[in-house]
Amino acid sequence: MKNSLSIPAPYAALLVSRPVTLAALLVGSSSATLAQSTAPLVAARTLPTVTITANPLGSSELIAPAATYLGTGLLLRSRSTLGETLDGTPGVSSTYFGPNSSRPVIRGLDGDRIRILQNSGASVDASGLSYDHAVPSDPITIERIEVLRGPGALLYGGSAVGGVVNLIDNRIPREPLFDAKGGIAGRADLGFASANREKAGAVSLETGNNRYALHVDAFNRNARDVSVPVALACTKPGSAALANRICNSGADTHGGALGGSAFFDGGYLGASVSTYRSRYGTVAEDNVLIGMKSDRVALEGELRGLTGLLQSIKGQFSRSDYQHTEFEAGVVGTVFKNRGNDLRLEARHARFGPIEGVIGVQSDATRFSADGAEAFAPYSQTRQNALFVYEEIAAGWGRVSLGARTESVRIESFGNPIVARFAPASRSFSPRSYALGGLFNLAAGWQLTGNLASSERAPKDYELFADGPHIATGSYEVGNPAFAREKSSNLDVGVAWKSGANRFALSGFVNRFKNYLALDATGLTRDTDGNGAGVGVTDDGFGNSVESGGTAEILPEYAYSQVRARFTGIEASGSVRLLDGPQTVDLELRGDLMRAVNRSTGQYLPRIAPARLGATLMWAQGPWGARFGVSHAAAQNNVPTGQFSTPSYTLANAAVTYRQTAGRASLLWFLQLDNIGDVLAYSASSILTQTAPGKSPLAGRSLKLGLQASF
């Protein structure tokens, strides 16, 4: 039986002031150094629109369905989380665990089936483990986002079976930013939003010459509880008992990075160090605060213009240290840690007639631990080694791509020194993935694409060894160490047309899983007494020693199982130039529709976005720009028996931009109004619609004023 969703009755000022000061300096500056840097700025900031996650050979004509966001388009869609920033892209929705934690959902797949990269390198965290674990990256620091829809397992492993999101931040410059005379360039971002009284700021500076480049950035985001169109109850001390705000949805996030590269004839060598800190409320529980930290070191280099069999060799290495601490009424409940290394070597071989391609190896290792009341998975270690190859054959009518990847994965459980129910165990897997694609040039401006992929994914450690309470999902989770590799086959067909400013794209896909790993209710309950929390002293991740303890709770049991599953969908997008000349008017259209079915039971799979349609009218003349958009989501009634459906909603938004020059600086002012009608809306792809129904709607009306200054 389906149910209807019921609706129940200190760093900011410091960092934000710095961008203001920098912007003032930019406006009044007329130094010779700034004059030298003006021309290089365009090359540095106008990044190539090549989607490298979709084509490692650098072709701008993509076989795999992909999207790229940068510049003003990225600025106006940027939100506090990665998932919300990309939500609305055809085929992409969001896990939306409130305004502070949200990962992209691509074609109905989320978690560890979506690979999030930083500059094409691995990003180690625990955001795929649980919906309340945020991605340690703030969109305000990102210069470009690339989204690959469909299997990316060929190049990036089984965790990319659903798609890839690549975050580009230029912390390791790959090309010289200036000529031999040198220079300096920078950018400052400021934003103030009304819905959550958010204050956000970021500063990025780059300097160097044709032989070296240095990069430094810092950011801060401070927000309070987000306003919504309905009164919600709240038991958090110091908060109103009933208010039009999502209880415990505030956040304080800050971080930064230092990086640089040395350039030589035929290549470069660079490194970066970055840090990310966040304290935010988890909206499922009024008195739970999360403290998260992530530190990352990355090395990268490339040799180009080689002679012989190999034309270029590129290497990437990163080491990440992630920690996530959950505080329950000020007491540490659970501490999650994940540390890992990733090494990737990729070589482009010499062309053999019409054939060109790359071969590569990848090796990564992670160590995970969870201590406390929510230690639902044991201490574990995962090691993976992989070999991959990608080839393209070019012809006058288009081109064909093919490739393969083979992996060796070993997952070990070390148990837990406090929790007796976890026992040491290990499993080994050998996933294989293959892909075949084609791009065919039809009539003028028309292209036809097709992709066929067979992908395999090794189960994650928690899917194998989980046995404990997972408060974020409101369940007691149980894994199975006997699971086999998850196998899927994907067919994607698309057609695209482009003529001047007009474009259109339509694609359809079918993704079949032979043994999809699903988490389903067993009908049983578990009485957990907080085993594993004990009482002791631990580090909260911010250098403080605090006491930890556990609580008792009865939870429904959910167990992982392998089932047959099918995902099907259609995605469309287009743009029409309605007026051309001194004034331009464009109409952008988008839409998607998908279904996901558990073929073993005949039930719908949960958390699938409904049919969606959107349109945006954009006007521009000289330095002025304006846009008005409408997004509609249909009701989602195709849910598993016993789960809540979500009602339809329509959201409207508008924005005005004005660009001016002041001295040597370029200033982009923008005023943005989201959810103009203050509409009450719930996300069908969020688990909160089931575990905390009515508690966390999407944000209400919000006015945002911002400035982006660059020189």
Kindly indicate the confidence band of residue 154, based on its pLDDT and cuts at 50, 70 and 90.
confident
How far apart, in whole angstroms, are the C-alpha atoms of residue 417 and residue 536? Answer: 14
Summarize pLDDT for 381-405 with one digit per residue, the tens: 999 999 999 999 999 999 999 999 9
User: Does 566 have pLDDT greater than 80?
Assistant: yes
Domains and CATH numbers, the chain: 3-710 (2.40.170.20)
Return the bridge partners of 574, or none. Answer: 504, 589
| Residue the block writes with tokens 């909206």 | 283
How far apart, in whole angstroms, are the C-alpha atoms of residue 648 and residue 635? Answer: 4
Q: Please, is 506 exposed, middle or buried when counting C-beta atoms within 10 Å of its C-beta (0-12, 13-18, 19+)?
A: middle
User: Does 73 have pLDDT greater than 70?
Assistant: yes
Summarize pLDDT for 196-208 with one digit per residue, the tens: 999 999 999 999 9
Q: Pinpoint the alpha helices (H) of 330-483.
A: 461-465
Return the percentage of the chain with pLDDT > 90, whole number: 75
Check: CB of residue 84 under 8 Å from CB of residue 94: yes
How long is the chain? 711
Check: CB of residue 343 under 8 Å from CB of residue 316: yes
Helix (H), strand (E), coil (C) string for 381-408: EEEEEEEEEEEEEEECCEEEEEEEEEEE
Summarize pLDDT for 292-334 with one digit per residue, the tens: 999 999 999 999 999 999 999 999 999 999 999 999 888 888 9
Check: CB of residue 82 under 8 Å from CB of residue 165: yes
Strands (E), 37-193: 66-70, 92-94, 104-106, 114-118, 121-122, 144-149, 163-168, 183-193
Task: Of 338, 253, 305, give the one whose Cα is nearest residue 80.
Answer: 253
Return the DSSP state at 352: B
How far apart, in whole angstroms, are the C-alpha atoms of residue 131 and residue 293? Answer: 17
Kindly indicate the confidence band of residue 644, based on its pLDDT and cuts at 50, 70 and 90.
very high
Instruction: Kindly state the helix (H) or strand (E) to which residue 171 belongs, with its residue range.
Output: none
For strand 163-168 and strand 144-149, is the pairing parallel, antiparallel, or unpaired? antiparallel
- Determine the average pLDDT of the residues in 468-481: 88
Structure tokens at 566: 């099918």
- Determine the average pLDDT of the residues in 427-444: 95
How far apart, in whole angstroms, are the C-alpha atoms of residue 204 and residue 219? Answer: 9
User: Does 355 have pLDDT greater than 90?
Assistant: yes
Task: Of 538, 540, 526, 530, give the one whose Cα is nearest residue 373.
Answer: 530
The DSSP annotation for 304-336 comes to -S--SSEEEEEEEEEEEEEEEEEEETTEEEEEE
| Displacement of CA 320 from its chain's centroid (Å) | 17
Return the percentage of the chain with pLDDT > 70, whole number: 89
Q: DSSP 3-state assignment of 347?
A: strand
